[in-house]
Amino acid sequence: MDSDNKTPAPKYGLEQVELFTGIILFRHHGEFLLGRCQSDVLSKVLVDSGDETFRINSQQILGRIDLVVSRDDFPDWRDRCQALFDEPDLKAVWETIYQDIEFVTLTQLRELIGRNPDASLQELGLLMALHKSNLYFFEQKGCWVPRSEGEIERLVQERRKLSLLINEWEEFASWINGGRAPTRWTTQHDLWLRDLEGFAIFGEEYEDSRSAKQLTRALTGGKSDLQKAAFRVLVNVGVYHDHEPLGLYRRGIQLEFPLELVATLQELPMNDIVAGRRDLLETPVYTIDERTTLDIDDGLSLIDKGDDGYLLGIHISDITSIIPGGSELDAEACRRMGSVYLPDRIIHMLPTAVAEDFGSLLPGRPRQAMSLLIHLDRQTQITECEIVASVVQSRARLTYVEVDQILKGKDSPHAHMMRDLDLIAKVFLERRIQAGAIEIRRPEIKVVVDSSGDISVQSSEPTPARRMVAEFMVLANRLVAEFCKTNNIPTIFRYQDPVDLQDLPSDNEILWTSLALRRMKPGGLSVDPKPHGTLGLPVYLRSTAPLRRFPDLVIQRQVIGFLTENRFPYDREMLSQLLCPANIRLREIARAETERTRYWVLRYLENRSGEEFAGMVLDSRRHHALIELETFPFRVGVYLNHQADIGDRVILKLHSVDLWKLEAHFTDNSH
């Protein structure tokens, strides 16, 4: 429909005058209305429709009659005028003339109908009927042309579709605003819902954000933040919940596995042990993880051989036979690229049956593994290292807390082994530090949301048990990297350029860590071996988490393929093509984890408005500072009332939290 200010005023023999008087027919926002002309003011016409007063321009006027009707009598007069003609009247005239007459004037149409002796009133009513129902005639140069039968049929179909669309919209809008859900859910309802979801997730980046904004505005009456309004609409109707992880959807992280993919698990050799593997079932293997960890992919063993030294075992769950390369499950794992660990859920790279059961090194369950059997002399020098495809069985599942207690002196049947492992790990760490490694002991923020929604926020220190396990994983990855390099096995190496930190202040560990992390250069992936400066190693890769990271699974396939069949499932070109998407995807996962952790910390802080928090200044530009809280390592930007230096301790007062923007608003409360 043409806009009001572009529609010329048809003449119909009624001359336009500078001052409009009497009764006029005018167009207003797509409607055709009758009104009493009251005055002309600066090219605008003041019109009283009986229900409302409008200020319109002359181009909106379609016709007029010189008739004076009082304000009190006008509503009744208007209703009688509107009721003079309807669509059946126009149809009857059309049936009479459409085959013989090309066009008629308004006066001729009125005479053909011939019903009301008041010609001017009849003409205005007929004009209104023609504009409101353009089914049988259309206006052309002041005359009315009868439509063809084909045109009418097309318009009837369009009207029917429009009527259905209006009904669908009314049902949808009613549901959105708290009414009953549509009795029949249609494709159009799906499209509207999809637009709301897409806009809530992606905002202006949504592919059809323009129509989505119009939709949101129509449903909510217009809000300053339409993206947030779309999200709240979806929460109100139960499509989303208050804590919906939109950041995951924005990054394409799928929460669930396709049902058809899960169904294929029944066909996989979950319990089969491939023949020809080294039998290590009698080796005392122990796993050490968080209490809540279910996807256990590494274990340790240590056999004291007296004067001959030690046999250190690092055993990595081998799922190469469970997840065949090129399978649908493999393709899904590649798309996901890694597991996502969030305070309120874990989104596995592999289905739960694999990640938490058949691929997990559970106590008392025989499992296939890639074992590194490292022979050490009494000075913990490596004299030999074998990497074998094996079968292992965990003796017990230990937690970091339990091992820390053992290392502090608590009696345990595992005490001797754990303390020896700790001593050996410290030796390897010290050697790396002497080779240029940088040890970062920054506490991490640990956020847990239980099934009832209660939030726990703590500072998780790098305890001796954690450092011990981490050091053995570094050792395993280094040895696998050396093995691949020596045997020309195509693989994915990790590297990082060295950095000089000697000038950093060493009297404040938190500040030193912050400055060190800021100065470090980002690491990378390569099919060529390169030094890893931060770890102090000439060559490095990651292979110890095949349940959690797809590149680790790829490397495991390369090593196991070489050991068992002397072949490589991937060549250099295939691995090169994997580097970029793997790097990008794993970084996106890390960002999603950080963002979601921040959300739950803010949710925890939401109920603590008005409380004071101590923090340290990590960066300061004039009065704007980056502060890390002392209670737990959470960083916020704050405007300080005073000039502060890096390393200063400040007192902040929590003012408010904005969960949508992921912001905490603190004020400077230092005295």
Q: Which helix (H) or strand (E) holds 554?
A: helix 550-565
251 in a domain, yes or no? no
Instruction: Answer with the residue of higher pLDDT: 504 or 120.
Output: 504
Q: Characterise 400 by phi-psi region: left (phi > 0), alpha (psi -120 to 50), beta (else).
A: alpha
For residue 29, the tally of other CB atoms under 10 A from its CB is 9
In 3D space, the residue among 251, 259, 338 whose CA is nearest the CA of residue 553 turns out to be: 338
- pLDDT tens-digit series, residues 555-576: 999 999 999 999 999 999 999 9
Q: What is the Cα 288 distance to its own chain's centre?
A: 33
Residue type, 514: S
Instruction: Answer with the residue of higher pLDDT: 504 or 662.
Output: 662
Band (pLDDT 50/70/90 cuts) for residue 113 is confident
250 in a domain, yes or no? no
Q: Characterise 597 by phi-psi region: left (phi > 0), alpha (psi -120 to 50), beta (else).
A: alpha
- pLDDT tens-digit series, residues 125-141: 888 888 888 889 998 88
Tokens at residue 597, please? 């952790």
| pLDDT for residue 338 | 97
| pLDDT for residue 451 | 87
With the CA atoms of 583, 588, 590 and 594 taken in that order, what torsion angle do they form, in degrees rounded to the nearest 10?
Answer: 160
Tokens at residue 157, please? 């179909």
- pLDDT tens-digit series, residues 346-355: 999 999 999 9
Are residues 25 and 134 both part of a single domain? Answer: yes
Average pLDDT (358-376) is: 96
| pLDDT for residue 473 | 98
- Tell whether the model's pLDDT for residue 61 goes beyond 50: yes
636 in a domain, yes or no? yes
Q: Which range is least confidently modeled, 116-130, 200-214, 486-500?
A: 116-130
- pLDDT tens-digit series, residues 408-419: 999 999 999 999
CA 201 to CA 657: how far, in whole Å?
Answer: 21
| pLDDT for residue 16 | 40
CA 551 to CA 585: how far, in whole Å?
Answer: 11
Are residues 300 and 265 both part of a single domain? Answer: yes
Non-local (6+) Cβ contacts of 596 within 8 A are 245, 247, 248, 342, 343, 344
247 in a domain, yes or no? no
Are residues 290 and 405 both part of a single domain? Answer: yes
Band (pLDDT 50/70/90 cuts) for residue 602 is very high
Average pLDDT (578-603) is: 96
Do 415 and 465 touch, CB atoms closer than 8 A? no
| pLDDT for residue 440 | 81
Residue type, 155: L
195 in a domain, yes or no? yes
| pLDDT for residue 270 | 67
Instruction: Answer with the residue of higher pLDDT: 33 or 83.
Output: 33
Average pLDDT (534-553) is: 97
Are residues 176 and 319 both part of a single domain? Answer: no
Band (pLDDT 50/70/90 cuts) for residue 2 is very low
Do 139 and 129 touch, CB atoms closer than 8 A? no
Non-local (6+) Cβ contacts of 93 within 8 A are 109, 112, 113, 136
Domain end: 242, 268, 297, which one? 242
Domain end: 541, 571, 597, which one? 597
| pLDDT for residue 72 | 86
Instruction: Answer with the residue of higher pLDDT: 230 or 92.
Output: 230
| pLDDT for residue 538 | 96
Non-local (6+) Cβ contacts of 383 within 8 A are 309, 375, 376, 377
pTM: 0.81
603 in a domain, yes or no? no
In 3D space, the residue among 534, 557, 267, 288 whose CA is nearest the CA of residue 404 turns out to be: 288
CA 416 to CA 516: how far, in whole Å?
Answer: 36
- pLDDT tens-digit series, residues 620-649: 888 899 999 999 999 999 999 888 888 889
Alpha helices by DSSP H, listed for 439-549, are: 464-486, 509-519
Average pLDDT (104-109) is: 86
Are residues 141 and 176 both part of a single domain? Answer: no
| pLDDT for residue 373 | 98
CA distances from 34 to 2, 65, 143, 267, 554 (A): 19, 11, 21, 74, 76
Are residues 31 and 161 both part of a single domain? Answer: no
- Tell whether the model's pLDDT for residue 508 goes beyond 60: yes
CA 20 to CA 644: how far, in whole Å?
Answer: 72
- pLDDT tens-digit series, residues 251-304: 999 999 999 998 888 877 766 777 789 999 999 999 999 999 999 999 999 999
In degrees and rounded to multiples of 5, residue 282 shows phi and psi of: -90, -5
Range of the structural domain that residue 638 is part of: 609-668
| pLDDT for residue 14 | 39
| pLDDT for residue 501 | 77
- Tell whether the model's pLDDT for residue 7 goes beyond 60: no
CA 149 to CA 95: how far, in whole Å?
Answer: 10
Are residues 45 and 155 both part of a single domain? Answer: no
Domain end: 103, 126, 148, which one? 148
CA 470 to CA 295: how far, in whole Å?
Answer: 16
Are residues 426 and 325 both part of a single domain? Answer: yes
DSSP string, 35-76: EEEEEEETTEEEEE-SS-EEEEEGGGEEEEE-----TTTHHH
Are residues 662 and 569 both part of a single domain? Answer: no
Band (pLDDT 50/70/90 cuts) for residue 335 is very high
Are residues 29 and 75 both part of a single domain? Answer: yes
559 in a domain, yes or no? yes
| pLDDT for residue 19 | 47
Are residues 568 and 535 both part of a single domain? Answer: yes
- pLDDT tens-digit series, residues 182-228: 989 999 999 999 999 999 999 999 999 999 999 999 999 877 899 99
Residues forming beta bridges with residue 24, ordered by sequence position:
35, 64
Band (pLDDT 50/70/90 cuts) for residue 49 is confident
Average pLDDT, the chain: 89
382 in a domain, yes or no? yes
| pLDDT for residue 9 | 39
Band (pLDDT 50/70/90 cuts) for residue 308 is very high
In 3D space, the residue among 481, 491, 478 whose CA is nearest the CA of residue 551 turns out to be: 491
| pLDDT for residue 124 | 81
Burial of 61 (0-12, 13-18, 19+ CB in 10 A): buried
| pLDDT for residue 3 | 41
Instruction: Answer with the residue of higher pLDDT: 515 or 457.
Output: 457
Are residues 268 and 238 both part of a single domain? Answer: no
Band (pLDDT 50/70/90 cuts) for residue 116 is low
Average pLDDT (56-77) is: 84
| pLDDT for residue 118 | 67
- Tell whether the model's pLDDT for residue 5 goes beyond 70: no
Total count of domains within the chain: 4
